Structure 1
Amino acid sequence: MIRAAMIAALLVPAVIVCCVVAGLAYGWLRPERVRGRHATPTFPSRPAVTVGETVALIACRNGAGSITDAVTAARSAGVEVFVVSDGSTDDTVARAQAAGATVLALADNVGKPAALLRAYEHFGLGRRFRAVAILDDDVRIAPDFVDRALAQLGPEAVISVGRNVTWWPHERRWNPWLANRAYGYWNYQLIVRRIQSAFNVMNCISGSNSVYRTELLDEVLPTEPPYIVDDTYWVLETHRRELGRVVYAPEAVALLQDPVTFRDWYRQNLRWLWGTFQGVAGHRVGRHATRFDYAYVLLICHWLVYVLSGPATLWVLVLAGPGVVRGVLLLLVGQAGWLLVAGWRLGHRRLVLFLPLIVAIDFLYRIVMVHALIRTIRQPVVARCVWTSPGRLAVSARPAP
């Protein structure tokens, strides 16, 4: 009985993954043989957008230590930069202006989406420009970021999502939270985000570095997001209302500041997942016969398998008795191979040295997912989309992407 349960714990997730991969491969190779109950949505064809028709918009609260760097990088990308200070009490306004940005200073902290809307309307960005790059105040985009993002913003696309790269400074080279996030971004964007972009089923975008057509922002910005993550609401509205395609621009690189402490890492991931689950509930994912819903249901199945595989793996290792060492080694070897590839591609060869910690954090992430689900059940919507960002690092020595 125990042997059968152990085999089932390993076999069921493997079968599900194989079925999903086989289904995606069949649909990719033989699309004419795949029939849906509803036709693929058609989107209006819009003209290409140039860099001169694009602007950068940054919402910032008490980001005096990083706003200069963010504005300078955005201006280096060839676009005009607008900053809205969301009730900042430090030198954010003065430093943003000194870096060359046009600034709107709000007296009160209204939250990122509300601040963005006020700046968008105050500066008339929807009338003056055709695309807006919405950036975080601690993000440094590459000089060709806007060019690369616009190259993917085809006639039917309304959002072009940049590629996240963790800023991992030398003085923090042994920080496990930065190591884990650098690996997580690389792994997720290499597989999930590229597949989702190809099928126009992207459920998650980079709120810190994405480019939006103003036609879309005119539709989604005026509504206060009912979720704790604003871009979750925007992307779900885009799909549900069939406003256009959401695409991934892997060559549009942005350096991100990520949490360096357990507390900040846990709180940020909890908020992201809470917002994701709020979106699933609020937009009734899985209750519509669309490609997006089908793909999202598959992703939810993957999440379920992922969460259950954690305790299942631990249970199998405990029951292995004397063979536990061999089981742990097999688990680590498989992960080590992928970490070696990630370290090579990211230019961080030391990444593989974090193997035990990354495996441990991966198990911890399952706890965060369960916590986020419980919080969603207790609070499926929020009155205001306001949160506290993780602590920022000094940026004086940050290299260009």
Structure 2
Amino acid sequence: MTLSTAALLLVIGAFGYGFLRPEAVTQRGEQPHLPRYQPVAPGQVAILIACRNGATTIAGAVAAARATGAPVYVISDASTDGTAREAAMAGAAVLELTRNVGKPAALHEGYVRFGLGGLYRAVVILDDDVLVAPDFLARALDHLSERVAIVVGHNVTWWPHERRWNPWLAKRAYSYWNYQAVVRRLQSHFNVMNCISGSNSLYRTELLDVLLPQQPPYIVDDTYWVLETHRRGLGRVVYAPRAVAHLQDPTNGRDWYRQNLRWLWGTFQGVIGHRVGRRNTRFDHAYLLLMLHWLLYVAGAPLTLWLLATAGPGLGTGLLFLLAGHAFWVGIAAWRLRRPRLLLFLPVIVLGDQLYRVIMVHALVKAIRQPTVDRCVWDSPARFAVPAGSNA
């Protein structure tokens, strides 16, 4: 058996495990120092959204959030459009800031000013362009056992009919499915999740009381939160595959590149800043394996191209084999997402996969040159209006 065959079998086995046991988050091997939290009822949860210049999407996000039955609070981070007005008209309690402080600082300000830590036992933090399913809260609470501090929602790309041929939405829809079907499910099971969905996750207020007062030193705030949760032993971080949230994703190449670069830059900042891999814990061991996977993933691109370039008469066969492997996986994604047209984007997905490796290298260099930031502030991709309750 060749090394490549063994790797393929391991990947298939990992997928099979995640597919057959989507909610297997047992207490086996639980670390004894993790705190035991009290149960949380649906009426003890609030939804918090920090937003800057999100007038296009905030009303839909608030309406969808209110459909879960939870009260919604919005912080307008010095918005210069009608964000505050739209949020208030949609039924949210609104706090307007006069100075742009960035998402984590705005969340902390709203959390304190609204008194959420004293009024509720848990808070769902959403982005202003996210439409959660009506049962999002109920599905997330199903996973909030006594050892759990964070419940991560299930990302689904908002891919409306009028944008059905957008290649960047196709690539992101596949990427979300691929990551969550294998890596996130396995990480959740073993409590070694290295990143979370900052746009749609549920946090215990005991955790937010500790994390929100701190200014994250990384460009991605939720990277800091999850690393601190693991480092301090504040509780488990688990994935709720049926707590569905539809996200607006980049619709052009420039925004797609920049968003991925920021996410990966924040990831590598976390690896550097938290000195990941230097402690004898399950989380550190798992993260080292993940980084080894990244190394092989990036190195695999030039190696594959070299093998194809030197294949001679076998070039056509090699290309067909490469495409067949991708087509098999994309076909499963198309079936699970109920998006048959995803198969038509196979060339885009393959090319995007190669470009993603370039972004990883770019992000690593950027993190080495700038391992911290003064403020967690960035420009979001262009948004488009989506009415709440629309069929995704």
Establish whether TM, by shorter chain, passes 0.5. Answer: yes
Q: Indicate whether 1:44 and 2:35 are aligned.
A: yes
The answer to whether residue 269 in structure 2 is matched with residue 240 in structure 1 is: no
Shift of 1:394: 2.1
Does residue 1:151 correspond to 2:115, yes or no? no
User: C-alpha distance in 1, partners of 2:391/2:14?
Assistant: 40
Change (3 A) 1:400 1:222: farther
What is the number of residues matched between the two proteins?
381
What value does the CA root-mean-square deviation take over the aligned residues?
2.1
Q: Residue 113 of structure 1 aligns with which residue?
A: 104
2:173 to 165, 182, 185: 182
The question of 1:289 aligning with 2:276 is answered no
* One-letter amino acid of the counterpart of residue 192, structure 1: V
One-letter identity of the residue aligned with 2:54: G
Q: Is 1:336 equivalent to 2:324 in the alignment?
A: no
Task: Compare 338-347 and 95-104 and name the one that shifted more.
Answer: 338-347
Is 1:389 the counterpart of 2:350? The answer is: no
Aligned to 1:6: none
What is residue 129 of structure 1 aligned with on the other side? 120
- Superposition pairs of residues 81-92 of structure 1, within 5 angstroms: 81-92=72-83
Unaligned runs of 5+ in 2: 17-28
* C-alpha contact (below 8 Å) 2:68/2:134 kept by paired residues: yes
Q: Distance in 1 between matches of 2:136 and 2:13?
A: 35
Q: Cα 1:11–1:263, aligned 2, differ >3 Å: closer, same or farther?
A: farther
User: Equivalent of 1:360, from 344, 347, 351?
Assistant: 351
* SS of residue in 2 equivalent to 1:268: helix
**TM-score, scaled to structure 1:** 0.91
The answer on 1:321 being equivalent to 2:312 is yes
TM-superposed deviation, 1:43: 1.6
Say whether 1:170 aligns with 2:156.
Answer: no
Q: Percent identity?
A: 63
8 A Cα contact 1:169 1:398, kept in partner:
no
CA distance in structure 2 between the aligned counterparts of 1:354 and 1:273, rounded to whole angstroms? 24
Provide closer, same or farther for how the CA distance between residues 23 and 250 of structure 1 changes in structure 2, counting only shifts above 3 A.
Answer: closer
Code of the aligned partner of 2:253: F
d(CA) in 2 for partners of 1:234, 1:41: 21
| Partner amino acid, structure 2, of 1:77 | T
Question: Which residue in 1 is equivalent to 2:342?
Answer: 351
Rate the CA distance shift 1:93–1:39 in 2: closer, same or farther, 3 A. Answer: closer
Matches within 5 A, 1:300-315: 300-315=291-306
Counterpart residue identity of residue 320, structure 1: A
Aligned-residue offset at 1:15? 5.4
Partner residue of 2:48?
57
Contact 2:191 2:237 in 1 (8 A): yes
Structure 1, unmatched stretches of 5+, are: 1-9, 26-37
Q: Which structure 2 residues correspond to residues 175-254 of structure 1 after superposition, within 5 A?
A: 175-254=166-245
Task: Give the 4+ runs in structure 1 shifted more than 2 A.
Answer: 10-25, 38-42
Deviation of residue 324 (structure 1)? 0.8
State the shift of 1:345 in Å.
1.0
- Contact kept, 8 Å, 2:63 with 2:388, in 1: the verdict is no
Q: Does 1:96 align with 2:87?
A: yes
Counterpart secondary structure, 1:152 = coil
Q: Which amino acid aligns with 2:274?
A: H
Report the secondary structure of 2:142's partner residue: helix
